[in-house]
Structure 1
Amino acid sequence: MIRNFLYSILLTLVVCSCGVDGKHFKLEGRLLHLNQGEFYVYSTDGLLNGIDTVKIVGGRFAYEIPCTEQGTLVIVFPNFYEQPVFAAPGKSVKVTGDASLLRELETEGTRDNELMTAFRKQVSGLSPQQTIAAAAAFAQKNADSEAALWIVRKYFVATPSPDYAQARKLLATLHDRQPRNGNVARLAQQVNALAATVSGAKLPKFSCTDTSGNTVSSSEITKAAVGVIYLWASWNYESTEMQRRLKQMKDKAGNKLCVIGFSVDAAQASCNSFLERDSVKWSNVCDGLMFESKTVRTLGLYSIPSNILLKNGKIIERNVSSQELMRKLEELL
C-alpha cells in the first residue's frame, strides 16, 4: 500500500511538472524548416506589457506567462506574418506546421484556437469579398468566443478599408453573448472613436515622444496648412519608399508642409538607421509597441503603409496610395 501511495505521489508530480498551473498560460510549438530563430509576441488587449522575444531552437519553442484572465497574444514571425493565439488561465496551446507555409499553421489546445485554425482553412483560396462574408458569418456563429473578437478587429476595423457599421453590429452581438468581456467593450469604444476620424473630421488629440526625446502632439500638425501623418516600418519597402517621396516633397514645400511619422519597428535602432540613411529630419515616433502603440491605435493606423492627409487641421483623405498622396500634395501646395 505504501509503495502504491508513493507511486501515486510521484506520478502526480510528473504530471504537474509537464502542465501549467491555474495562473499561467503556456505556448509551445514545433516548426519545420526553421531550425533556429526567434519571433516576437505582443498582446492586443493588455495581457502583456510591451513585446517579448521567443527563441526557436531545434525547430521548437516554449513560452509561458502569468495569466489570470482570457486574452489574445499575437505572434510576429520573422517575415512579419502575424498569427493570434488565444490565452486562458491554466491552459496550454501547441502550434505546429511548416515555417514556409505560415498561413497553414495549426493551433490546438483550446476551443478558441481550434476555431481560428478552422477559419483559416475555410477562407484559404477565397476571394477578399468571400473572406469578408465568411468572417461576418464566423463572428455571428461564434459570438461567445475570443476568436470572434479577433475576426471583427482584423476584417472590419484594422484594415485599409474598415467597415465600422458592420463592426458595430457584430460587436453588439458579441456583447450580448459576452456581457462581462471588457475586451469587447473596449473595441466598441475604439470603433466609435475611429468612426469619428473619417474624411472631414478633426484629428484626434494625441501627445507622445519621438525618437529624439521631443514631445510630439496633434496641435503641431493641426496648426499647419497641410499635414501628413503616416505609418511605416523599416522592413516594409512600400512604406519606406513613401517616406522617401515625402522627404522630396518636404524639401520643396518647406514649412508649408508638416509631417509626422510613426514606425512600428520593434527596435528603435532599426527605425533610426533608416531615418539616418534617408536624412529624414521631421519627428518620428517609435515606442517599440508596434501596432499596439496607443497613438497609432488612436489614429486608426492599422496597416502598412497608412496615412492621414490634413488641410487646416481637418482630415481630407485617409490611406491613399503613395502616388495619390503625392498628387494631392502637389495640388495643395
Structure 2
Amino acid sequence: MKKLCLLYLLLIGLSACGGKKTDAITLSGEIKGLGSDTLYLYGADRMYDRMDTLVVEEDKFSATLSADTLVTTILLFNDGTEYPLFLDKGNKIQIKGSNAELSSLQINGNTPNVELTAFNQELKGLGTPSVKALEEKAENFIKDHPASLVSIYLLDKYFVQALQPDIERIKMLADRMTGELKDRPYMQALLNRIDEDEKVAVGKAAPYFRLRNAEGKEVTRSSKNDQYLLMQFWASWDTISREANAMFRRIYKKEQKNKDFKLMGVSLDLDEKTWKETIKKDTLKWEQVCDFSGWNGEVVKLFAIQKLPTNILISPNGKIEAKDLDEKAIEKKLKEIKEEKEKEKKTTRNSTRR
C-alpha cells in the first residue's frame, strides 16, 4: 500500500513536469468594425526580425507566436495605422478596441502593454491636446518609467519624429533611461539617429554634395552659394511627397525669377525613366536631381533624411536655416529675404552718395 502511494505521487509529479509552462505567446484580439481583413506584425528592431500575418474574420483574430525575450513589435493595419505591441515568451496577449479608434486600443498580457494602454487612455481624456501638452505627457511618463520599453516608443514618436526635433531635450530624456534600456537595439538605433540629426541641425553647416540633374549636368552645393536654396526631398513612388509637389509648383511659379532663391527637387527614385516621366507628368519645372540610390543615396545619408516629404532651407553662407517648412513659413521666409535684400541695396546707395 505504501509503495502504491509513492508511485501515485511520482506519477503526479511527472504529470506536472510534463505540463510545464510553455514559452509560446498566444495572441487574441477583437476590434469592432474591422470585419474581415489582414493585419501584419513586424519587429521594431533586429530582436524580432520577421513579419507575421494575422487573418481577421468577423472582427476577430488569433495567433501563436514566439520570442526569446521582451521585444517591441508593430501591429500594422491596412489603412497605414501602426500600433506598438510588446511581446515576451509565455505571454497571453489580448487586444480589444474599435476600428474607429485604432490609436487607443486596450491591450494587456504584460506590463508594457498595460502601461501604454493607460497612457493612451489618459490622452483620450484630454480631448484634442496641443503638441506641447502631448510632449509634456510623454516626458512625464519617460521620467517616471526609466526602465520601460514604452519610454523608448514615446521618445521616438513625440520627440525624435517631431518636425523640429529638440536634440538637447531628446538627449536629456535618453539619459534618464536605465543602462539596460539603452543597450537595446531599438534604443541604439534611436541614439544613432539623434547623432546623425545633430550633425545637420538648424544652424549647422550644410554638407557638400554632388549630383546630376535631369539634363545630366553636375550640380554641387558650392554652385548655389550666392542664393538661398530650398532642397525638396521626394520620390515618384511616394504618394504624399508627390501631393506636396502642388505646393512647390505654386512657390516656383511665384519665385522662378527670384535671383536670391533657388528651389531644387532631390528624388529618391531608383529608376531614371520613371523619374523623368514623373517630372514631366507632375510638371516639375524647377531643377531636379537624383542619384538613383533611394534611401541608400549619399545625399540622403549626408542630410540624415528619415521621411518623405522633407525640405531643408540652406542660406547663402552654407548654413542650414530651417527644415520642414510649410507653405506659409516658406512665403514668410521669402518675404524676409526680399526685405533683407532691399535693405542691403538701400545701404549701398547711401554709401555711394557719401
Is TM > 0.5 for Structure 1 vs Structure 2? yes
2-side partners of 1:286 and 1:56: how far apart?
38
Matching residue within 311, 325, 329 for 1:307: 311
Name the counterpart of 1:109.
109
Report the alpha carbon displacement of residue 164 of structure 1 after superposing the two structures with TM: 1.9
Counterpart of 2:74, as a letter, is V
Maintained 8 Å contact 1:160/1:319: yes
Identity %: 19
CA, structure 1 residues 178+304, in 2 after alignment: closer, same or farther (shift >3 Å)?
same
Specify the alignment match of 1:184 in structure 2.
Answer: 187
Q: What is the aligned partner in structure 2 of residue 216 from structure 1?
A: none
The change in CA–CA distance for 1:310 and 1:57 in structure 2 (over 3 A counts) is: farther
Alignment-derived partner of residue 243 in structure 1: 245
How many residues matched? 303
Structure 1 residues 308 and 39, CA gap change in structure 2 (3 angstroms): farther
RMSD after superposition: 4.7
Match of 1:325 in 2: 330
Structure with max Cα Rg: 2
2:170 partner amino acid: A
1:258 aligns with 2:258: no
Report the TM-score when normalising by structure 1: 0.69
Distance 1:227 1:71 in 2: 40
Q: Which residue of the other structure, out of 162, 170, 175, is the alignment partner of 2:173?
A: 170
Q: Is the 8 A contact 2:67 2:89 kept in 1?
A: yes
Letter paired with 2:36: Q
The answer to whether the aligner puts 1:44 opposite 2:49 as a matched pair is: no
Unaligned runs of 5+ in 1: 208-218, 264-270
Residues in 2 aligned to 1:64 and 1:229: alpha-carbon distance in whole angstroms: 44
Normalised to the residue count of structure 2, the TM-score between the two structures is 0.65
Counterpart secondary structure, 1:100: helix
- Distance of 2:71 and 2:301 partners within structure 1: 18
1:222 counterpart residue number? 221
Instruction: Tell me the equivalent position of 1:266.
Output: none
Does 1:316 find its partner at 2:352? no
Residue identity matched to 1:310: I
Of residues 100-109 and 89-98 in structure 1, the stretch that sits farther from structure 2 once superposed is 89-98
- Any conservation in 1 of the 2:234–2:266 contact (CA below 8 Å)? no
User: SS of 2:100's equivalent?
Assistant: coil
Helix, strand or coil at the partner of 2:74: strand
Cα distance change of structure 1 residues 182 and 124 upon mapping to structure 2, 3 Å threshold: same
Matched, 1:161 2:164: yes
Q: Which runs of 5+ in 2 are unaligned?
A: 1-7, 211-217, 270-274, 339-354
For the Cα contact (< 8 Å) 1:194–1:298, is it kept in 2? no
The alpha-carbon deviation at position 54 of structure 1 amounts to 4.3
Name the residue aligned to 2:341.
Answer: none
The letter for the 1-side match of 2:243 is E
